[in-house]
Amino acid sequence: MTDLSATTSSAYKQALEVIASVEPRIAEATRQELADQRSSLKLIASENYASPAVLLTMGTWFSDKYAEGTVGHRFYAGCQNVDTVETLAAEHARELFGAPYAYAQPHSGIDANLVAFWSILAHRVEGPALEKLGKKNVNELTDADWETLRNELGNQRLLGMSLDSGGHLTHGFRPNISGKMFHQQQYGTDPETGLLDYDKVAEKAREFKPLVLVAGYSAYPRRVNFAKMREIADEVGATLMVDMAHFAGLVAGKVFTGDEDPVPFAHITTTTTHKSLRGPRGGLVLAQQEYAPSVDRGCPMVLGGPLSHVMAAKAVALAEARQPEFATYAQNIADNAKSLADGFMSRGAKLVTDGTDNHIVLLDVSAFGLTGRQAESALLDAGVVTNRNSVPADPNGAWYTSGIRFGTPALTTRGFGHDEFDNVASLVVDVLKNTTPGTTKAGGPSKASYALADGIADKTRSASAEMLDKHPLYPGLDLS
């Protein structure tokens, strides 16, 4: 990370004073958040540290502007500067990912997926349904026509990766709208190897004949062959939607190329901008030209007014990702994940799929006699921030789980390298070996309570501090 100048540092301090003059507790929480992030090992696979340029771009008066519509076609006057912002964000996204079309408005990853789902329905179902009714657009529909259209739209099938295999809740999981608006089925991973079995996915697709085949994941520690997924989609006439929310940074940095780059193969690719891509919190949709007109209707179809200040920050982050240094960063993310995985395995720990070839390492903590919930809490006590995660066919379910998910994007941004990630593995194993599961009030085994051996949390914290001090977060930024 590049050093911030003393002037920038003092500007931040003054900015916090402005905030403190209205609500001092928010200024204090903001200061404390920096202190906490600086002093802990952030291993949450979906988090990162955005650059000061990205962060500063979000704190401006673009926040005050309404700009519903699209570039050049807004429902509000005075959007010329927002047009500049959205045009640049989309242009950087198209160039970076080699996509024919990019839509920078989605407020988050879930919103990007909602835009994608409705775009696919509009393109594949609404158009043909209108034709059947002899109508050119939805404004001409009678009440009876609407009933027909609703039936057509609401009778579609979606096939996505199951949650406990590493899929995301927006890929057809029941509690999410994707699992309610579609008839959904899921494909999983092999229970023995934990790996995707493309023949099984194809078999399921042939049986189920989905309108939408979703690929992409939040907790799968391996690369996906998107050429194969497209072949499967083509064979059954499905639209291939790839959600690269987690690994967009590895696509941007050309770690995933050829069959592992989803953008040329997917009809629609969605992503977040704040995970490995290291931008502001937000979403992005990329599409082949035939889907562009329906994606362009994201607002007002499912989105409200765009967050212009965040779109501006997306443009800045995407410009950063087009620099050669970002490719080095992306390669380091993958190399560091290997060090972390090797570090775990050389100490006898069990990983889902026995390794990684992306940015995720999924540790099965059942061998330590712990649930994911216990392991997550014990690690947090020792200053190691992770999240619990299901493993394939998890006996502890989605709440307690049996796994811990680790990711390397954040600490790689801080400058951690091979030896430090090996050391992280050693610290984690040490904490888990020194954690014992607790008992319930009735005396049975508890899935939540646990006890750490004396001194282990302090020992871990001081070993972490040594590494963290060598790689300061936002160096030069002094709020004291």
Ligand X SMILES: *Cc1c(COP(=O)(O)O)cnc(C)c1O
Pattern of binders to ligand X over 271-290, x per CB under 6 A?
-x------------------
Q: Nearest 5°: CA angle at 85, between 79 and 91?
A: 130
Minimum CB–partner distance for residue 208 and ligand X (Å): 21
CB nearer to ligand X: give 186 or 218: 218
| Residue 372, helix vs strand vs coil | helix
Binding mask 346-385 for ligand X (x = CB under 6 A): ----------------------------------------
**Residue keyed to tokens 């939805």:** 138
Q: Give the chain's radius of gyration (CA, Å).
A: 23
DSSP structural state of residue 70 = E
Q: Which of 57, 170, 390, 435 is in the footprint of ligand X by CB under 6 A?
A: 170
Closer to ligand X by Cβ: residue 246 or 388: 246
- Of 63, 94, 95, 67, nearest to 83 by C-alpha is 67
Provide the minimum distance between the beta carbon of 245 and ligand X in the complex, in angstroms, as a whole number: 3
From residue 28 to residue 47, the character string flagging contacts with ligand X as x (rule: CB under 6 A) and all else as - is ------------------x-
Determine the Cα–Cα distance for residues 399 and 377; give it in Å rounded to an integer: 13
Alpha helices in 59-142 (DSSP H): 80-97, 109-121, 127-133
SS3 annotation, 77-92: CCCHHHHHHHHHHHHH
Residue closer to ligand X (CB basis): 74 or 405: 405
Cis amide bond preceding 300, omega within 30: yes
CB 58 within 8 A of CB 313: yes
Q: Is 213 exposed, middle or buried (0-12, 13-18, 19+ CB in 10 A)?
A: buried
Min separation Cβ 268 and ligand X, Å: 13
Nearer to ligand X by Cβ, of 67 and 161: the residue is 161
Which region among 242-250, 287-295, 378-386, 439-447 touches ligand X (by CB under 6 A)? 242-250
For ligand X (CB under 6 A), the number of binding residues is 13
Q: How far is the CB of 93 from ligand X (least distance, A)?
A: 16
Residue of the chain from 246, 359, 405, 461 that contacts ligand X (CB under 6 A):
246
Residue nearest to ligand X (CB): 109
Question: What torsion do the CA atoms of 401, 404, 407, 411 make, to the nearest 10 degrees?
Answer: 140
Residue 126: CB minimum distance to ligand X, A: 24
Query: What tokens does 110 get?
Result: 């879930």
Q: Does 110 bind ligand X (CB under 6 A)?
A: yes
Q: Could you tell me the smallest distance in angstroms from the CB atom of residue 112 to ligand X?
A: 7
Query: What track of x and - describes contact with ligand X for positions 190 through 229 (by CB under 6 A)?
Result: --------------------------x-x-----------
Please tell me whether residue 245 binds ligand X under the rule CB under 6 A: yes
- Residue 196 has phi, psi (to 5 degrees) of -65, 135
Which residues here bind ligand X, judged by CB under 6 A? 46, 108-110, 113, 168, 170, 216, 218, 243, 245-246, 272
